[in-house]
Amino acid sequence: MIFILLIVLLVFIVYLNKNFYLKKNNAKYPNGPLVLPIIGSLYRVSFKTPHLSFKNLSQQYGKIFSIKMGCVETIVINDISILQKTFRDKPTIFQQRFWLPSFYNVGEYRDIVFSNGPYWREIKSILKNSLTKTKSRSMEDLFNSECSKAEQYIMKKIKENNNIVDMMKTTKRLLLNIMVKFLFNISFEYDDGSLSKEIFDFVKSYNLIFEYLAKQPGDFIPLLRPFDTHDKIAKEYSNLLKFFTPFIDETLKNIDKENPKCFLEYLLIEIERDPNSMIKPESIPHICFSIIVAGSDTTGTTLEWMILYLSNYPNIQEKLHCEINSSHHPTLKEKKNYPFLRAVINETLRISPPAPFALPHICSEDTIVSFNGHDYFFPKYTQIIPNLYGANRNENEFDDPNTFNPDRHPSSTASHVSYSSGPRSCPGENMADDILFVVSTRLYKYFKFERTTNQLYDEYGVLTKTLTPKDYLSKVTFRS
């Protein structure tokens, strides 16, 4: 009985402090849907299409709204300007990741994605230095080499399957090959018969992990934690680490400090420079996994969406082909000479961002976010979700926002947001942009992509680990 009274008293004190802060600063807590016991406002969220639910909620409650996800207080930001201003003006308050219990089973918060504090700052600095030094070598040659292998595979499938090719599977393999080559200086063949069992096991465990992560009710409702499947997540993640172990061991054994051959060698050299580094050898597999996920999955998904949209709108595909069909192959130094390709990439990222909510942040202290004369109170420990999908489809920012229209970008004053802003922005964003440029200039120069049906391909997609298109096949023709 005394324990219950203490809990009630504590809740009452927190309530009084919150209201005192609001009155003192003339701020308001963002509006949101009705909160019910135990489940909070989760009844307003579709677990199959949460990005659409959040977009609908933003239309009802505004550019900033609150939603209680079970026991987790959450504020959702649905506007490009507010997102950029919030993370830019208050970087230290919003730079930490929000930790859900199930996330611990993927990297133990020791990777670049979910780590926080001094450890995260050190790993980000080392990654940026390693990326810079790696790019001093010919990354473009690596991209082109892997693209050539993918093109040979596509040509083979064109002949074998009467021009029908699974481009979703092909782009996944292409991006995975690029990232594995970048990390470890190894590559996998495209031919199904030559593909090792290890890579199949990796992909299987990789997909299962994110399937399990999406089904952890205890992350939000503690009463349901006995039904969580953290053991399954841990098992599949352990399988993934086994995939990396031989490559890491081989790199450690043959590292060439005078002439590094891959990103992992640069990374290990950077770590060794500081004898007091917080990054220990056992963290390396976690870092490698996060780089693989960030580099292959998000960029590969963007390529899948590009092929889908250009198949749905062949006139746009032909306009793009005309721009890049020069006598020589476009190079990264010539990016500015291909404005329509830039517009197509930007429009793909705007209308179908691979990570529609980016990754959640946590508000590390009570603060006020001001916008257009309104002050909003963000309490300490609140989960902050950047709703990139909703922001990019804001009717006030874009005309006809649900229509794929690359022509909007050269003249549009509104920018899109594809990655989170502020200190937690993706350190590999420039590399991802380079990959998209090189792969796109080759694919759309050499191949024509068409639908295998008269109906337009579905443009809403499905949300799993990323916002991906529903499965589709492509009719692919080589442009002689």
* CATH code, domain with 452: 1.10.630.10
The pLDDT score that the predictor gives to residue 6 is: 45
Looking at 91-198, which runs of residues are DSSP E strands?
Answer: 164-165
Q: Are residues 343 and 418 in the same domain?
A: yes
Structure tokens at 391: 């922001």
Residues in the annotated binding site: 426
Q: What Å distances lie between residue 1 and 7, 8, 222, 400, 432, CA to CA?
A: 10, 11, 22, 58, 57
Taking the CA atoms of the chain, what radius of gyration do you get in angstroms?
24
Q: How far apart are CA 48 and CA 215, in angstroms?
A: 11
330-339: per-residue pLDDT in tens?
999 999 999 9
Containing structural domain, residue 465: 31-478
The pLDDT score that the predictor gives to residue 5 is: 46
The pLDDT score that the predictor gives to residue 19 is: 47
The pLDDT score that the predictor gives to residue 200 is: 73
The pLDDT score that the predictor gives to residue 257 is: 85
Residues in the annotated binding site for heme: 426
Number of folded domains in the chain?
A: 2
Q: Are residues 112 and 35 in the same domain?
A: yes
Q: Are residues 215 and 187 in the same domain?
A: yes
385-396: per-residue pLDDT in tens?
999 999 999 888
- Low-confidence stretches of the chain (pLDDT beneath 70): 1-26, 135-137, 191-196, 411-422
Q: Are residues 239 and 323 in the same domain?
A: yes
The pLDDT score that the predictor gives to residue 136 is: 56
Q: Are residues 85 and 134 in the same domain?
A: yes
Cβ atoms of 434 and 332 within 8 Å: the answer is: yes
Q: Whole-number mean pLDDT of the chain?
A: 87
Q: Are residues 18 and 65 in the same domain?
A: no
Q: Are residues 111 and 5 in the same domain?
A: no
